[in-house]
Amino acid sequence: MDDHLLGWLRTLDEERLGRVLANRPDAIAAPWPRRLDPLAKRLGNGFAVIEALRSLPLPCLELAQACLVIPAPTAGKLATFLSTDPGELGPWLDHLYDHALAWPDPDGVIHVAEAVSRWWAAPLGLGEPLDHYLNSWTISNDTLRAMSRHLGLPPHGNKRRTLLRVAEVLGDVGRMEALLRNAPEGTREFLDAFAWDGPVRDVDGDRFVMPATPEKWAGDHGLLYRPNWHTAEMPREVALCLRGPGYHPPFSPRPPEVATIPVDPEEVDHLMTLAAPHVVERCAALLDNTSKTPLPLLKTGGVGVREVRRVAKETGCDEDETRLLLEICAVARLLSWDEPSGGMVPTDRFDRWRLDEGAARLRVLLSAWWRMERSSLRRVDGKFGTVLGDDQSGSSIARVRRAVLTGLAHLPSGHAFADRGSLVRNVHWHAPLLDQALLAETAAAVLDEARLLGLLANDALTDLGRALSGLAAHAGDEADDAVPLVEHDPVLAEASTRALASVRRSALFGPDLTAVVTGPPAAELAALLDRVAERESRGAASVWRFTTESVRRALDEGYDADELLEELSGVGAIPQPLEYMVRDVARRHGEVTVTTVGCIVQASDPALLAEIAGHRRLTRLGLRLLAPTVLVSSAPAERTLAALREHGYSPVPIADTGEIAIRRTRIEEPQSGKLILLPGGQVAELSDQETEQPLHIPEPVPDPAEHARRLITAKESSVPTGRTWAIIGRMATRLPTGQQSLLGFVVDRGVRAGITLTDGLTATISHGELRGAALDAWCEEAGDYLEFPLAEIVEVRATY
């Protein structure tokens, strides 16, 4: 823990501390700290500090680097070093302070979080301070005295005084220039490469021992230090002297301007209402396709291009759309590998998902895309990656996706970006720690994906995209089965409901055996029409055509004529020609029956059966007439059925009992689950399956302002004095010595442990404190701090 940080936290008022907690929710995540010293420890955690740095814009990072370079930096020194007005620095320094990544001491000296200095080994492209090299064990007293002689310093005196003299010479611009005037030819150019493109570079180690070479001269005068034979490093002070007094690091307080053009908000909304229902409908179609034909994987992992194209053709999607939606379905756990099937098939969650209302289905898909660690449409060397294959960029892809959408959210409403290059530069200013090459390479793919999902239209963010961009902090990881904070976010829920408000749940049936849906069809309507008709076109209006084959296909799936007509009449008025065709196909459907023996073909009309037996193109079935109404086929039943249907007959399979064997699979609606309370007062319903394996929903973060008030009040309270082990040994008399020790670790180190009380109550606790004869600890089951009497604890066990 940084004592400077703790001291600064103690000086903050309630408002400033509340801002720090609001910007660093990781510091007050459950179990939240109850005093300032554990808060300071959390704020200084290395991983948390780096995550906080990722959220800062470029000026904050430029200031942080300058603070690491300047000794004892103050606001005035920073303004001089950056050659800018002190007023320009104030807001950005406050931004660093509000994230507890830097803070001023009473003298105005700015301290940077220790994790930042450890992570930033070469701020502004500068190396370690000179003291780091001069105090190294590799610098002997003889080497130090020889360096002093080369610098024109008296070699006598103790080591500390010699170090100060050497540092004074090497940190002075005038003396450095005087030294370089007597250096061998080429020394300045050689050293400039380290000063501007260093601080570590590969060198020819042999030249450091050859007389009159720039390398040997630089090493003898302490301008370069070699950690190994072929590598040299330049100290920070030397590089700054070589850069000269006119050097000022870049400072960019204003973001690059994004070229924009005005767009019609109503048209953007209209395109959103077309794209969003299409996504839900196409996902359902893709998953239905994989339920019939499992999606095989390559030996090297992922789905092959041939399979992607097959699925795209069979479902009517284009290839890009298929790539994206397959990966989204896999991340959403709607599609997974099934060993018996030998491929990817829909999961049980798909059955529950398809029964949910459309807006909820859309949010599940958007949440999956938001945390997906692959970019389906990114090209590397001109080629797409393998669908569902590994991507080395991993989580960086997800961060780029969220940064791009957040950057689009900064554009004023009613405006779209006119130039992708200016957008990428603006995004990099807001998220400078992103890999710039990866950002430039992936931005186009992210924008294309956003267009397909209805998040972007006419190069402007839709209401759906704007709602999703505000959830970057709650995106979760690809490994998460679900992210309730995104899927149940009220703003996203409202936007998704509005995006699907224009879906059509009815169709116009024409006497020419067509069905027209003027607008985006609801997923249920599209599934019904796809089942009984052939889709001819899609877009602003979708058209289906009813044919004998398409109606027969529906009958083959287990529907009868009355069921089909009842469902179709529920979405529109059925014209007489359509009803006649359905009933005529249904009348002929089953006039030929097939029984498996090898198999048997039967018909009530002897003339019809004689026609089949004499059909020249059915000879491959090996049909033999057993009786006027009975044929025997040498082919299996499935092959016989297919051949008869191919040549215009309408057979149906018959079971051994003599009944028609067509059975339509019905998806039973899951019973109502239990209601759970989500953070922020939101409520969600878990099914029975999810209740058995509940979602891991994080405890809600306390209100920052209210928690700041509690911390300021608690910071003066005294911690109980006395030895932890002595108090536990005296009070927890029901526990053996080993369990008393484990309970002591709960207090001293905050470890997790399970306890049992005398009344049989069990709890998982951590971060305990001793308060008299009770243990005040965080209880995971209650989601709060509770007191447990030490005398009533009968068991303590390790919990992992």
Residues with Cβ < 8 Å from 569, sequence gap 6 or more? none
pLDDT band at 204 (very low <50, low <70, confident <90, very high): very high
Which has more pLDDT, 237 or 393? 237
pLDDT band at 721 (very low <50, low <70, confident <90, very high): very low
Residue 496 and residue 464: Cα distance in Å, rounded?
6
pLDDT band at 698 (very low <50, low <70, confident <90, very high): low
pLDDT of 236 above 60: yes
pLDDT of 101 above 90: yes
Q: Mean pLDDT throughout 574-592?
A: 86
pLDDT of 718 above 60: no
Closest CA to 532 of 515, 508, 511: 515
pLDDT of 619 above 80: yes
Among 314-318, 590-594, 649-653, the range scoring the smallest mean pLDDT is 590-594
Residue 214 and residue 442: Cα distance in Å, rounded?
44
pLDDT band at 558 (very low <50, low <70, confident <90, very high): confident
pLDDT of 625 above 70: yes
pLDDT of 675 above 80: no
Closest CA to 59 of 88, 102, 101: 88
What's the pLDDT tens digit per position in 126-168?
988 888 888 877 778 888 888 888 888 887 777 788 888 888 8
Q: Given this model, what pLDDT does residue 696 score? A: 47
- Residue linked to tokens 């995540």: 29
Q: Given this model, what pLDDT does residue 673 score? A: 46
Closest CA to 81 of 37, 123, 116, 53: 123
Q: Mean pLDDT throughout 57-71?
A: 93
pLDDT band at 722 (very low <50, low <70, confident <90, very high): low
Whole-model pTM over 0.85 = no
b/e map of 234-271 (b: 16 or more CB within 10 Å)? bbbbbbbbbbeeeeebebebebbebebeebeeeebbbb
pLDDT of 540 above 80: no
Given its phi and psi angles, is residue 321 left (phi above 0), alpha (psi -120 to 50 degrees) or beta? alpha
Give the percent of the chain with pLDDT over 90. Answer: 39
Q: Given this model, what pLDDT does residue 685 score? A: 47
Residue 496 and residue 272: Cα distance in Å, rounded?
10
Among 56-70, 103-117, 530-544, the range scoring the smallest mean pLDDT is 530-544
pLDDT of 82 above 50: yes
What's the pLDDT tens digit per position in 486-495?
899 999 999 9
Q: Given this model, what pLDDT does residue 161 score? A: 84
Q: Given this model, what pLDDT does residue 700 score? A: 65
pLDDT band at 671 (very low <50, low <70, confident <90, very high): very low
pLDDT of 694 above 60: no
pLDDT of 730 above 70: yes
Residue 430 and residue 423: Cα distance in Å, rounded?
11
Reduced DSSP (H G I as helix, E B as strand, rest coil) percent helix, strand, coil of the chain, to 5:
50, 15, 35
pLDDT of 339 above 90: no
Which has more pLDDT, 137 or 88? 88
Average pLDDT of the chain? Answer: 86
What's the pLDDT tens digit per position in 504-524?
888 888 888 888 888 778 777
pLDDT band at 536 (very low <50, low <70, confident <90, very high): confident
Q: Given this model, what pLDDT does residue 491 score? A: 93
Q: Mean pLDDT throughout 631-656?
A: 87
Which has more pLDDT, 278 or 657? 278
Among 531-540, 573-582, 607-616, the range scoring the smallest mean pLDDT is 531-540
Among 6-20, 414-428, 589-603, 632-646, the range scoring the smallest mean pLDDT is 589-603
What's the pLDDT tens digit per position in 559-578?
888 888 888 888 888 888 88
pLDDT of 474 above 70: yes
pLDDT of 378 above 50: yes
Q: Is 183 exposed, middle or buried (0-12, 13-18, 19+ CB in 10 A)?
A: middle
Q: Mean pLDDT throughout 494-500?
A: 91
Residue 498 and residue 430: Cα distance in Å, rounded?
30
Strands (E), 633-705: 651-654, 674-678, 682-686
Q: Given this model, what pLDDT does residue 239 score? A: 93
pLDDT band at 21 (very low <50, low <70, confident <90, very high): very high
Q: Mean pLDDT throughout 259-269?
A: 93
Length of the chain (residues): 800
Report the relative pairing of strands 600-603 and 630-632 from DSSP bridges: antiparallel
Inter-helix orientation angle 159-170/173-181, to 10°: 80
What's the pLDDT tens digit per position in 284-334?
889 988 988 899 998 888 899 999 999 998 888 889 999 999 999 999 999
pLDDT of 555 above 80: yes
Return the CA Rg of the chain: 36
- C-beta separation of 647 from 615 below 8 A: yes
Q: Mean pLDDT throughout 69-78?
A: 91
Residue 346 and residue 334: Cα distance in Å, rounded?
6
Q: Given this model, what pLDDT does residue 391 score? A: 80
Q: Given this model, what pLDDT does residue 119 score? A: 87
Closest CA to 176 of 200, 162, 192, 157: 192
Two tokens at 693? Answer: 């394996």
pLDDT band at 395 (very low <50, low <70, confident <90, very high): confident
Q: Given this model, what pLDDT does residue 755 score? A: 93
Q: Mean pLDDT throughout 653-669?
A: 64
- Residue linked to tokens 């498996």: 596
* 3-state SS, residue 86: helix
